[in-house]
Chains A and B, each alone.
Chain A
């Protein structure tokens, strides 16, 4: 049985680094943005307010698809909780959704990890420039494709890319 009392305890069914991340609300989505650096992983902070079941992970797909991607979820210490593994980027546009193993996580800060082995593949992101992602708590890691079991977080001082990823949740944790 799930029993929730008090406002604000539950999340929407889908949260992202835009809805529950650290980027200010002024930020607007923009068209496809090139990944820029092959094999780079980007770790996008998302704050989870209550205990939830992660049902699926997703990211915003761009208009170019030639390489491979990986999508995962990490805890605050960089320990990988979920990852898809290297996957061919077969389609363009829309939302790419991965039906992951149902995983219960508690409240805290988590990082959605997204990696690509292509410099030119594109993803939906925010029209930001360096060092705004770094100032908003985004981390990156070079040579991290596919996503590693333990992330080595680094401050992406020269990275302007702020892509969008998220997770579908079931908030009825029993």
Chain B
């Protein structure tokens, strides 16, 4: 047998929390995610992921918190990198917030993407009575190292206009490479 390098398999669920793909794995987030209010209505949050191989995005998803009576529309998308920052949108999907403390999936057009640096985006149309599972980075972390933000970004724009963010929140959301379950 002859091996050169190693094979990489993309997992079914990809997020900022996914080991060896997302930055939470680099100990920026010291605690497991928990339910918390979304930080600001219509503020998009962009966090980087590194895909070691190509894959097909079939669904986007997020983890609802324990309060979702605000009826917010949640949108999650994937953006290409543009010189260390999110650039053009690859794909996104949205829906009214559903069952509490569950992962909510939205089908999107199957979209193949090559390996590389991408940005996972999430936005909630309202922050009132809207909770999403999230963790917070270490207080001494430098937010631009793991997230950017954009105001008035619901729905998610075709091209991001990211700004440095002082917040430390990292949301549990991403995409699925499988159509089901």
Contact = CB atoms under 8 A, between A and B. Distances in A.
Interface stretch (A45-53, A59-67, A142-150): A45-53
Contact of B6 (A2, A27, A50, A139): A50
Contact of B181 (A6, A22, A139): A139
Interface in B39-73: 61, 63
A26 B32 contact: yes
Given A25-B27, A135-B103, A6 B32 contact: no
A171 to B, nearest CB: 9
A135 B3 contact: no
Nearest to B33: A132
- Secondary structure call for the A interface: loop
Contact of A24 (B2, B13, B17): B17
Interface residues of A, number: 43
Contacts of B102: 130-131, 134, 157-158
A23 B33 CA distance: 12
A12 interface: no
A48 B172 CA distance: 25
A36 to B, nearest CB: 16
B88 interface: no
Contact of B9 (A1, A2, A109): A109
A137 B30 CA distance: 20
Given A129-B34, A135-B63, A3 B3 contact: yes
Nearest to A110: B9
Interface of A: 1-6, 8-9, 21-27, 45, 47-51, 106-109, 127-132, 134-137, 139, 153-155, 157-158, 173-174
Q: Which 10 A-B residue pairings sit nearest by Cβ, starting from the closest?
A: A107-B7, A49-B6, A137-B13, A157-B102, A6-B5, A24-B25, A9-B6, A24-B24, A109-B9, A134-B103
Interface of B: 1-9, 11-13, 15, 17-19, 22, 24-27, 29-34, 61, 63, 99, 101-103, 133, 135, 172, 174, 181
